[in-house]
């Protein structure tokens, strides 16, 4: 099992920088930040995702640089291809391209983006994926589709990673996105909106979709993003049950002692899950995890 760390874009840049360096030192495989413009508390800090992760690519040296999940709607696909190529060179071959159709209507309205129906957004994402893969690999790209037209497009330098950085699509239970990912991408990510008890079924659906295209998990990565409640004593466990974070529900959080979590994650790996992104390491100190590095280090030492 590989592990990625969620980067909270509402922290100060210095806090984020230190956190990224710490998780890299602890052996995490990748870092990911969401692609949103506005924090839940509207006036809180919220950094732009591509700029933030490019800065972290410079600060770090080993950990992979990703997002969770880039919104296809916010960047023309030709520009996104160029940006990922640039990030791959800045990071010396550590860029990831995890993206999806976009979903948060309020941000589209606030920032002046059209917000078409979900089916249209998925179609746009599918067309964007075609454009991006062509720009990653072709000498010059011409394309005429439903949404975008490119004429003799030159994209140099090509990415360091060959044939291109890992492409992962993000969805919750979307059938079309799952199908597109199984046909065209390197992986699929789903998140805590899927109840933990439903993960085995979700994985089985992905496996069945892969079979349609004569593929299997040997070249396809299933990843998940979930909060994790890591406790060291029964007292901590009781305290957290009595004061459970209101932003989460019990059925979306992995809870337990280090040995419990290690066993649960081994079971997920047996099912076919290859990477877990730790959205939050929750404990009695969950409100400010940066001040409690011991919990992060405990997770790395005894769970990873």
Is the CA virtual torsion 92, 183, 154, 79 positive or negative?
Answer: negative
Measured distance CA(113)–CA(116) in Å, rounded: 9
56-78 per-position pLDDT tens digit:
999 999 999 999 999 999 999 99
Note the pLDDT of residue 248: 75
Note the pLDDT of residue 161: 99
| Residue 204 region by backbone torsions, left for phi larger than 0, else alpha for psi between -120 and 50, else beta | alpha
Say if residues 65 and 131 touch (Cβ distance below 8 Å): no
Average pLDDT for residues 276-302, to the nearest whole number? 74
Say if residues 56 and 88 touch (Cβ distance below 8 Å): no
Q: pLDDT band for 296, please (50, 70, 90 cuts).
A: confident
pLDDT at 294 over 80: no
Note the pLDDT of residue 43: 86
Could you tell me which residue, 200 or 255, shows the higher pLDDT?
Answer: 200
Local structure of residue 79 (DSSP, 8 states): H
Q: pLDDT band for 135, please (50, 70, 90 cuts).
A: very high
pLDDT at 286 over 70: no
Measured distance CA(242)–CA(34) in Å, rounded: 30
Note the pLDDT of residue 105: 95
Note the pLDDT of residue 284: 60
Could you tell me which residue, 131 or 295, shows the higher pLDDT?
Answer: 131
pLDDT at 289 over 80: no
Burial class (CB in 10 A: 0-12, 13-18, 19+), 294: exposed
237-259 per-position pLDDT tens digit:
888 777 777 777 888 999 899 99
Q: pLDDT band for 119, please (50, 70, 90 cuts).
A: very high
pLDDT at 11 over 80: yes
Note the pLDDT of residue 285: 59
pTM: 0.95
Average pLDDT for residues 266-277, to the nearest whole number? 98
Task: Give the ranges where 91-242 is alpha helix by DSSP (H).
Answer: 105-111, 118-137, 175-184, 199-212, 234-242
Pairing of strands 2-6, 273-282: parallel
Average pLDDT score over the chain: 93
CATH architecture, range 64-302: Alpha-Beta Barrel (3.20)
Measured distance CA(84)–CA(223) in Å, rounded: 20
Measured distance CA(68)–CA(97) in Å, rounded: 9
Q: pLDDT band for 288, please (50, 70, 90 cuts).
A: low
Local structure of residue 156 (DSSP, 8 states): -
206-230 per-position pLDDT tens digit:
999 999 999 999 999 999 999 998 8
């Amino acid at each position: 099992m590989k592990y990625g760390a969620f980067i909270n874009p509402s922290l100060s840049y210095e806090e984020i920088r230190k956190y990224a360096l710490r998780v890299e030192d602890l052996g995490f495989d990748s870092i990911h930040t969401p692609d949103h413009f506005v924090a839940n508390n509207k006036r809180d800090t919220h950094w732009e995702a591509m700029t933030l992760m490019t800065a972290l690519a410079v600060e770090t040296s080993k950990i992979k640089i990703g997002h969770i999940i880039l919104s296809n709607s916010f960047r023309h696909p030709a520009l996104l291809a160029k940006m990922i190529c640039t990030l791959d060179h800045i990071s010396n071959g550590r860029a990831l391209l995890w993206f999806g159709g976009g979903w948060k209507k309020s941000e589209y309205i606030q920032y002046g983006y059209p917000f078409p129906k979900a089916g249209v957004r998925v179609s746009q994402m599918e067309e964007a994926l075609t454009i991006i893969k062509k720009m990653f690999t072709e000498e010059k790209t011409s394309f005429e589709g439903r949404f975008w037209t490119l004429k003799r497009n030159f994209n140099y330098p090509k990415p360091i990673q060959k044939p291109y950085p890992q492409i992962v699509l993000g969805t919750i239970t979307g059938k079309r996105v799952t199908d597109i990912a199984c046909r065209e991408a390197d992986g699929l990510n789903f998140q805590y909106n899927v109840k933990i008890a439903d993960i085995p079924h979700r994985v089985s659906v992905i496996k069945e979709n892969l079979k349609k295209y004569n593929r299997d998990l040997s070249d396809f990565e299933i990843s998940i993003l979930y909060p994790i409640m890591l406790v060291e004593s029964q007292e901590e466990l009781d305290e957290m049950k009595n004061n459970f974070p209101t932003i989460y529900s019990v059925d979306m959080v992995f809870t337990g002692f280090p040995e419990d979590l290690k066993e649960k994650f081994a079971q997920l790996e047996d099912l076919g899950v290859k990477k877990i992104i730790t959205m939050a390491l929750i404990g009695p100190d969950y409100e400010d995890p940066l001040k409690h590095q011991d919990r992060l280090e405990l997770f790395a030492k005894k769970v990873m």
